[in-house]
């Protein structure tokens, strides 16, 4: 498949959120990426259900929900009701990861697992065929605008090899420091979905930047 682009609303203008959502609706972007932070799993707080529900009302593209929270199982059904297309949970936050992933899928939602920069790809060997997507964090989660961690390229290559070896259908998503300078390398390593926040929303022409990322 052609690669997807998922603008991260964490970098959007929260005073003009509807305007930024409509911009993405009209662009070549494929998904909306929503980072949900609880101030516990990561040292930041983003937005909760009231905001997500409002976004879902006007978003014309799927909502890619990235949960950076402890005990995500408590909220899976609420995220489904709020409009989630994909729900991704952190490997590091789930005591019973296999159960959590299947609980998401039982809701009729795609299930993803997220790896922090220090978490090894090999830990996914036993569940790689159960997931719809793996998100590789190429920065430490919690804040936008961070510098890309170069070792992420190697992790993507490792993950692509694991997916091939197991005949998994999992997609590979990358989030953190993604820009026009490293996008080609990320795609060549095996990435399917580019998440970009600051690169898009700090651009003088966000729609044009999305187009450039999409047409690489």
Catalytic residue numbers, as ranges: 35, 175
Query: Do 110 and 86 contact (CB within 8 A), yes or no?
Result: yes
Q: What's the full length of the chain, in residues?
A: 216
Dihedral sign for Cα 53, 206, 172, 68, please.
Answer: negative
**Alpha helix (H) ranges present in the chain?**
17-26, 49-58, 76-82, 97-106, 152-166, 183-189, 198-201, 206-215
Q: How far apart, in whole angstroms, are the C-alpha atoms of residue 154 and residue 145? A: 21
């Amino acid at each position: 498949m052609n690669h997807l682009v998922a603008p991260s609303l964490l970098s959007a203008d929260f005073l003009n959120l509807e305007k930024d959502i409509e911009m993405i609706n009209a662009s070549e972007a494929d998904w909306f990426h929503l980072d949900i932070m609880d101030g516990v799993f990561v040292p930041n707080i983003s937005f909760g259900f009231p905001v997500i529900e409002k976004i879902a009302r006007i978003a014309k593209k799927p909502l890619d929900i990235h949960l950076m929270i402890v005990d995500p199982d408590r909220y899976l059904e609420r995220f489904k009701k709020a409009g989630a297309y994909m729900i991704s949970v952190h490997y590091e936050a789930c005591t019973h990861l296999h159960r959590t992933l299947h609980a998401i899928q039982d809701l009729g939602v795609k299930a993803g697992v997220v790896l922090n920069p220090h978490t090894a790809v090999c830990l996914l060997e036993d569940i790689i065929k159960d997931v719809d997507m793996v998100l590789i964090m190429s920065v430490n989660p919690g804040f936008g605008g961070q510098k890309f961690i170069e070792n992420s390229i190697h992790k993507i290559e490792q993950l692509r090899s694991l997916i091939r070896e197991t005949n998994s259908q999992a997609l590979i998503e990358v989030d953190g420091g993604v820009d026009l300078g490293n996008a080609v390398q990320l795609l060549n390593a095996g990435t399917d979905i580019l998440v970009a926040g600051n690169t898009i929303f700090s651009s003088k022409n966000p729609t044009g930047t999305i187009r450039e990322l999409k047409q690489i």
